[in-house]
Amino acid sequence: MTIRFRLDPEKPDERALAVAGRVLRSGRLVAFPTETVYGLGANALSAEAVARIFVAKGRPADNPLIVHVASVEDVRQVARMDHRAEALFRRFAPGPLTLVLPAREDVPENVRASLPTVAVRIPAHPVALGLLRHCGCPVAAPSANSSGRPSPTTAEAVADDLGNAPAVLLDGGSTALGVESTVVDAVSETLTLLRPGGLPLEELEAVAGKVLLPETAQLLAHSPGTRHRHYAPTLPLFLWEEDGRVWTEVAALAQPEEIGYVGLREPPFPCGAMRRFPHEDAYAAGLFATLRDLEKCNLRILVADMPSSFRIGRALRDRLRRAAQLS
């Protein structure tokens, strides 16, 4: 059985965090909210604990995990941090920035999929930070969904996907950003964007200068996880780019009442289920939960509005393309 604690996301109950911290330290799994999505955590220094994450999620072993720590100083528990990396964390942490850094040798191989590097981040959520302080160890945590499904932005989505796999589920309500952290390779001389995410590239570049956007082929070699199927809803998803061409295809495949729509713009004809957001930040925050919701609405096809390629729009476009199995 999973013990579920409902917590005030701003001021979580310390006793619940203490219990969850002990559970983590003892080698079992704890699901917790971050400012991006929910994570499924294990003691990052225990290979045995980390192995449970891969089983619970059905995650391929060649997809490495992000290690979460409570402070910039604690990054050194798992990675070697040069001046540049430290400056980036001092500017953006806690927050949705993950840096890939040279790993310390005692980081178990399954955390880093046998790479010499490790991904590290400091989450900006009182529950996540409180949990990290209580358990006193670095916490490896991928998104708390079944591998391949949309990431979980609510405790309900975690429970739907993972059942009783976490020993503790810390329920802090809906997560604020709704897309995962921005992952940046900080090992090579030039910073490289491995995954667009909650921290806009524009903000990073304003501080760090030009960040490389690798071609897809190079990216596969670099960030093993990007190779796998991701974020996929159970219904076929079509993308509405700037032009309206997709609607001709969609109209040929389904009746209006069989179509689910998510996005910003008003669709050209009525759909069976519609979720519209006032701006891109709200779209990002609501996308994954909406995909999960629409799956339950007796529809045949989903259509998603493609946002701009700026700021959070870049991450949204990436997730939508993957959800539509286009990359």
Q: Provide the binding-site residues for Mg ion, judged by CB under 5 A.
A: 143
Q: Nearest approach, Cβ of 319 to ligand TXA (angstroms)?
A: 11
Question: Is 64 or 272 the residue whose CB approaches Mg ion more closely?
Answer: 64
Site string for ligand TXA, 43-82 (x = CB under 6 A): --------------------xxxx----------------
Q: Nearest approach, Cβ of 267 to ligand TXA (angstroms)?
A: 30
Q: Which does 77 bind (CB under 5 to 8 A by kind): Mg ion, ligand TXA, none?
A: none
Give which of 318, 235, 325, 314 is closest to 273, Cα–Cα.
235
Angle formed at CA 58 by CA 55 and CA 60, multiple of 5 degrees: 100
Question: Is-contact 97 184, C-beta < 8 A?
Answer: yes
Question: Is-contact 65 141, C-beta < 8 A?
Answer: yes
Q: Using DSSP, state whether 86 is helix, strand or coil.
A: helix
Number of residues that bind ligand TXA (CB under 6 A): 31
Long-range contacts of the stretch 104-108 (C-beta < 8 A, 24+): 104/77, 104/78, 104/79, 104/80, 106/45, 107/44, 107/45, 107/67, 107/78, 107/79, 108/44, 108/45, 108/46, 108/47, 108/50
Give which of 99, 76, 290 is closest to 186, Cα–Cα.
99
Q: Which does 170 bind (CB under 5 to 8 A by kind): ligand TXA, Mg ion, none?
A: none
Question: Is 39 or 313 the residue whose CB approaches ligand TXA more closely?
Answer: 39
Q: Nearest approach, Cβ of 144 to ligand TXA (angstroms)?
A: 7
Q: Which does 65 bind (CB under 5 to 8 A by kind): ligand TXA, Mg ion, none?
A: ligand TXA
Q: Tell me, what amino acid is at 160?
A: D
Phi, psi angle pair for 199, to nearest 5°? -90, 115
**119 sits near ligand TXA (criterion: CB under 6 A):** yes
Residue whose C-beta lies closest to ligand TXA: 225
Residues with Cβ < 8 Å from 294, sequence gap 6 or more?
233, 235, 260, 262, 273, 275, 302
Among 43, 77, 110, 117, binds ligand TXA (CB under 6 A): 117
**141 sits near ligand TXA (criterion: CB under 6 A):** yes
Q: What is the DSSP letter of 212?
A: B
Q: Nearest approach, Cβ of 29 to ligand TXA (angstroms)?
A: 13
| Sheet with 301-305, edge to edge strand ranges | 237-240, 301-305, 259-263, 273-276
Q: Nearest approach, Cβ of 325 to Mg ion (angstroms)?
A: 16
HSE on the CB side for 136, CA within 13 Å? 5
**98 sits near ligand TXA (criterion: CB under 6 A):** yes
Q: Which does 79 bind (CB under 5 to 8 A by kind): ligand TXA, Mg ion, none?
A: none
Q: Nearest approach, Cβ of 200 to ligand TXA (angstroms)?
A: 14
As a whole number of angstroms, the distance between CA 200 and CA 314 comes to 8
**147 sits near ligand TXA (criterion: CB under 6 A):** no
Q: Nearest approach, Cβ of 229 to Mg ion (angstroms)?
A: 11
Question: Is-contact 47 110, C-beta < 8 A?
Answer: yes
Question: Is 35 or 305 the residue whose CB approaches ligand TXA more closely?
Answer: 35
- Which of these ranges, 5-13, 71-79, 117-125, 158-166, lies near ligand TXA under the rule CB under 6 A? 117-125
Q: Nearest approach, Cβ of 180 to Mg ion (angstroms)?
A: 6
Footprint of ligand TXA (CB under 6 A) = 34, 36-37, 39, 63-66, 96, 98, 100, 112, 115, 117-119, 121, 123, 141-143, 180-181, 183, 194-195, 222-226
